[in-house]
């Protein structure tokens, strides 16, 4: 085994430096595996991404914009009323 190492090793690398590099590599791999084995907890607070109840929108002022998209103001108003009625808040 030792004779096979001498044929593979470059001329400037000694057996001692090979041992140190293998030791450092094994320590590095140990710490990488130790870190990967730790449980990773992602604590995410509940965030309400739907802020529909905070929007105070006067649909009557935006009739032209709404009509350009194919919805009447009555449809938008009833949609928002149904949406607010059916929304449950979980806090």
Length of the chain: 91
- Kindly state the tokens that stand for 63: 């009739």
Which pLDDT tens digits describe the chain residue by residue (91 residues)?
455 555 555 566 677 777 888 888 888 888 888 888 877 666 556 665 555 555 565 656 666 566 656 677 777 778 778 777 776 655 4
* pLDDT score recorded for residue 46: 62
Provide the pLDDT for residue 68: 58
If we measure between CA atoms, which residue out of 49, 59, 61, 56 comes closest to residue 87?
49
**Residue 91 pLDDT:** 46
pTM metric for this prediction: 0.32
- Parse the chain into domains and list their residue ranges: 2-37, 52-86
């Amino acid at each position: 085994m030792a004779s096979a190492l001498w044929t593979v090793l470059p001329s400037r690398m000694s057996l001692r430096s090979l041992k140190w590099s293998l030791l450092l590599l094994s320590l590095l791999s140990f710490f990488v595996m130790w870190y990967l084995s730790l449980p990773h907890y992602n604590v995410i607070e509940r965030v309400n991404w739907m802020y529909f109840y905070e929007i105070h929108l006067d649909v009557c002022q935006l009739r032209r914009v709404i009509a350009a998209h194919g919805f009447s103001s009555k449809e938008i108003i009833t949609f928002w009323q149904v949406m607010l009625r059916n929304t449950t808040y979980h806090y």
